[in-house]
Amino acid sequence: MAEVCGILKVTNQKARFIFHEVGIVEDFETDDIEEVVNKIRGGGGTSFVPLYDEISRQNPRPNVVIHMTDLFGDFPAFEPNYPVLFVVGEYSADTPGWPGCQKLELPAQRKDKRDPHAGF
């Protein structure tokens, strides 16, 4: 997230952040990482349907949608006409298989970075 906000500041841009579970929880534009961190919520079930319903009402459409998710949830039946990137951890479900959809799996982090034998 810090890298995203750093890029936005350098380019004098803002990004729209939408946090959702079974409905939209937060929806705001910013280039301030602290604002993003302070608003992060989660821990419930996930439906991607309300998010894509909201995006479909927007004009113009986004250049890209980036999800940070485990991919466990309901997806809309339609395929977005913009690129979608799912950033996931080690354990995640399959993507919905939309054209232009990609999955980036982040490696697990060691619990103790000082001890290479501490496990993951």
Could you report the average pLDDT of every consecutive run of 10 residues in the chain (120 residues)? 71 83 88 82 82 90 88 91 89 86 82 48
Q: Are residues 34 and 71 in the same domain?
A: no
pLDDT at residue 120, as a whole number:
34
Instruction: Tell me phi and psi for residue 84, to 5 degrees.
Output: -130, 130
pLDDT at residue 1, as a whole number:
62
Structure tokens at 53: 């319903």
Report yes or no on 35 lying in a domain. Answer: yes
In angstroms, rounded to a whole number, what is the distance separating the alpha carbons of residues 89 and 120?
A: 12
Report yes or no on 41 lying in a domain. Answer: yes
In angstroms, rounded to a whole number, what is the distance separating the alpha carbons of residues 76 and 60?
A: 20
Best CA proximity match to 48, nearest among 68, 28, 30: 68
pLDDT at residue 118, as a whole number:
44
Question: What range defines the domain where residue 21 resides?
Answer: 1-45
Other beta carbons within 10 Å of 39: 14
pLDDT at residue 48, as a whole number:
93
Report yes or no on 6 lying in a domain. Answer: yes
pLDDT at residue 76, as a whole number:
92
Q: How many domains does the chain have?
A: 2
Report yes or no on 74 lying in a domain. Answer: yes
Report yes or no on 26 lying in a domain. Answer: yes
In angstroms, rounded to a whole number, what is the distance separating the alpha carbons of residues 36 and 100?
A: 26
In angstroms, rounded to a whole number, what is the distance separating the alpha carbons of residues 104 and 84?
A: 11
In angstroms, rounded to a whole number, what is the distance separating the alpha carbons of residues 119 and 110?
A: 6
pLDDT at residue 2, as a whole number:
64
